[in-house]
Amino acid sequence: MFNFASEEWVQALKEAINSSAGYAEAAKTWEGDFYFIVEAGGPIAQETVMYVDLWHGVCREACLCPDRSLKNPAFVITASLPVWRKVIDKKLDPIQGMMTRQMKLQGDMVKIMKAVKAAKELVECTTRVPTKFPA
């Protein structure tokens, strides 16, 4: 089990992405890196920033960042811990999460709207990472 939003979890996610044929196919034209940010609150003492660089169906780089200043990704998705958990548990569709303002997205909306299938496959990858959430 990997603690959610730890360096080990992020590396396990990278491995899950790179071993997913479904993601490779769905995201074969995708070019864009992300910050996945867990907002401070509850057991999360301070904002946690995960960086994932996705390029043509593979994850080129993934790491935990000390803060937002390390990288300048094309997209930033921000949500609270309970919301991230619902997404990873497939209890909340990310699109629904954004529409209900539980998740905030910054970046090129045109690129994002064309990548729904890739996003679904990405969520599938997260479900394959054995995850322990903070209590």
Partner 1 sequence: MNGFMGRLLLVDLTSGRLSEEALDSGLMHQFVGGAGFAARYLYDRIDVHTDPLGPENPLLFMTGPLVGTAAPLCGRYEVCARSPQTGLWGESNSGGRFGPFLRFSGYDGVLFTGKAARPTYLAIRDGHAELRDAAHLWGKDTYETQEAIQAELQGTKLSIACIGVAGEGLVKYAAVINDWGRAAGRTGMGAVMGSKNLKAIAVGGQGQVPLANPDAFSAAVQATIEAVKEDVKGQFLTAGGTASTVDTTMWMGDIPNKHYSMALWEPVAKLGGGTMAETILTGQKACYRCVIGCGRVTRIGGRHATESIDGPEYETVAAYGSLILSDDLEGTAYASHLCNRFGLDTISAGSTIAFAYQLYNRGILTSKDTGGLKLDWGDIEPALTLTKQIAHREGLGDLLAEGSRALGRRYGVEDQAIQVNGLELPMHDPRAFVGMGLVYATSPRGACHNQGDMFLVDLGAPVPELDIQLGNRLESSEEKALMTSRVMDWRTLYNSLVMCVFCNPSADLVLDLLNGATGWNLSRDELLPLGQRAFQMKRLLNGKLGLTAANDRLPKPVLQPLVDPAVETQPPDMSILLPAYYRIRDWDEFTGMPSAGRMTELGLQDLVAH
Q: Contact positions toward partner 1, by CB under 8 A?
A: 93, 95-101, 105, 108-111, 113-117, 120
Give min distance, CB of 27 to partner 1, in A. 14
Q: How far is the CB of 37 from partner 1 (least distance, A)?
A: 16
Q: Which is nearer to partner 1, 71 or 120 (CB)?
A: 120
Place of tokens 């946690």: 48
> Smaller CB distance to partner 1: residue 1 or 109?
109
CB nearer partner 1, residue 1 or residue 116: 116
Residue number, 32 or 97, with CB nearest to partner 1: 97
Distance of closest approach, residue 62 Cβ to partner 1, in angstroms: 25
Give min distance, CB of 103 to partner 1, in A.
Answer: 9
Sheet with 58-65, edge to edge strand ranges: 58-65, 48-55, 31-38, 75-79, 103-106
